[in-house]
């Protein structure tokens, strides 16, 4: 299975470029699409799902141009948009039946899938509850369930944990990991912890361009010598944060560590050998790189 995105560009009014010659090839697995707000992530997802037309470039699914595949391509897509309005008076069950009808599923298939999906997202006991009475996490789970109707081969989840508390965020992440077999799953986020444990590859995106495409371990290895730390007291933090706006504070059992990323180790800092994470990767490629310009 292959989804090939080739030289996609998109500009909005007043010439603002959302995407600039963006190219990447995706195979079966979980891809975390990581970037700050305004990086072009949602624009790219809307183009992949054929909700938005690119100015230039092509997308190929298993070698075929998706524009020629048309409805056949859309039938293999499952999409959870970042913001989807829900009918508060609909029950979860009615909402999934409604979405199944929009996707053209026959009644037998719809019934089987809806029953299975409600169990998968742990909402079988809430099937007849109004969506307006759902918590934020429950709404996110029912939206993931509708994306899975039709057994899609490509699953796109745009900010699936936005606004959730830590417990719900972990639950959603675990669920995504469970359903990812034999699919291309694109998890769009600007929250590093959402993808750190479940992504096979992480795509770093900035200003509509591809910055990096690698495994989490590969990205971490790319900054092994670019993370530095300084033991400090709480009273010293304010001055350090003013001097190093791209810094991070880590609390250890016996000390506090002020950590920064960069190409050179500042005086009094030491090179960090442990605990390098995707958060450090994010700081290096998005925060520190802006300061270098």
Distance CA 202, CA 221 (A): 13
Domain C-terminal end among 220, 238, 272? 220
**Per-residue pLDDT tens over the stretch 96-122:** 999 999 999 999 999 999 999 999 888
Note whether 145 and 251 are same-domain residues: no
Reported as a single tens digit per residue, the pLDDT across 120-145 is 888 999 999 999 999 888 888 899 89
CATH number, residue 51: 3.40.50.300
Distance CA 293, CA 267 (A): 22
Predicted structure pTM score = 0.87
**One domain, residues 130 and 244:** no
pLDDT in tens, 173-212: 888 888 888 899 999 887 788 888 889 999 999 999 999 9
Euclidean distance between CA atoms 82 and 140, whole angstroms: 10
How many structural domains comprise the chain? 2
For the chain, the distance separating the N- and C-terminal CA atoms, rounded to the nearest angstrom, is 39
Residue 159's CB: how many other CB atoms inside 10 A? 20
Residues 140 and 158 in one domain: yes
Of 203, 220, 237, the domain-final residue:
220
Which structural domain range is residue 61 located in? 2-220
* Kind of pairing between the strands at 77-80 and 29-34: unpaired
Shared domain check, 234 and 171: no
Residue 160 sits in the same domain as residue 251? no
The confidence band for 26, taking pLDDT boundaries of 50, 70 and 90, is very high
Average pLDDT estimate for 63-85: 88
- pLDDT tens string 234-245: 888 889 988 887
Same domain, 78 and 123: yes
Residue 169 CB: number of other CB atoms within 10 A?
Answer: 19
**pLDDT at site 197:** 82
9 and 134 part of one domain: yes
What is the model's pLDDT at position 194?
Answer: 81
Q: Is there a single domain that holds both residue 33 and residue 163? A: yes
List alpha helices for the chain, DSSP H: 41-48, 66-69, 71-74, 92-102, 107-120, 136-148, 166-178, 216-221, 237-243, 278-282, 289-292
Domain boundary among 220, 251, 282: 220
Considering the domain architecture, whether residues 163 and 244 belong to the same structural domain is answered as: no
55 and 149 assigned to the same domain? yes
Look at residue 143 and give its three-state secondary structure. helix
Query: In this structure, are residues 30 and 175 in contact, taking their beta carbons and an 8 Å threshold?
Result: no
pLDDT at 106: 94
**68 and 144 fall within a common domain:** yes
Q: State mean pLDDT over 261-282.
A: 89
Asked if residue 216 and residue 259 are part of one domain, the reply reads: no
């Amino acid at each position: 299975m292959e989804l090939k995105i080739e030289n996609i560009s998109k500009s909005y009014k007043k010439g603002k470029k959302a995407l600039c010659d963006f190219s990447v090839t995706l195979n079966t697995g979980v891809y975390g699409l990581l970037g700050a707000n305004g990086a072009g992530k949602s624009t790219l997802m809307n183009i992949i799902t054929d909700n938005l037309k690119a100015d230039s470039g092509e997308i190929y699914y298993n070698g075929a141009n998706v524009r020629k595949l048309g409805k056949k391509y859309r039938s293999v897509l499952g999409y959870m948009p970042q913001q989807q309005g829900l009918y508060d008076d609909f029950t979860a069950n009615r909402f999934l039946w409604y979405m199944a009808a929009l996707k053209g599923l026959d009644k037998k298939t719809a019934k089987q899938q809806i029953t299975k999906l409600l169990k998968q997202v742990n909402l079988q006991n809430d099937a007849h509850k109004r969506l307006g009475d759902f918590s934020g996490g429950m709404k996110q789970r029912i939206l993931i369930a509708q994306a899975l109707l039709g057994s899609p081969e490509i699953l796109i989840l745009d900010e699936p944990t936005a606004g959730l508390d830590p417990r719900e965020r972990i639950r959603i992440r675990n669920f995504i990991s469970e359903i990812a077999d034999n699919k291309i799953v694109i998890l769009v986020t600007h929250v590093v912890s959402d993808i750190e444990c479940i992504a096979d590859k992480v795509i770093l995106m900035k200003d509509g361009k591809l910055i990096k495409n690698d495994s989490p371990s590969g990205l971490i290895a790319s900054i092994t010598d670019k993370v530095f730390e300084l033991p400090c007291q709480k009273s010293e933090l304010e001055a350090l944060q003013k001097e190093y706006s791209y810094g991070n504070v880590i609390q250890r059992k016996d000390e506090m560590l002020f950590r920064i990323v960069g190409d050179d180790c500042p005086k009094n800092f030491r090179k960090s050998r442990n605990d390098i994470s995707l958060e450090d990767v994010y700081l290096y490629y998005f925060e520190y790189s802006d300061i270098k310009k």
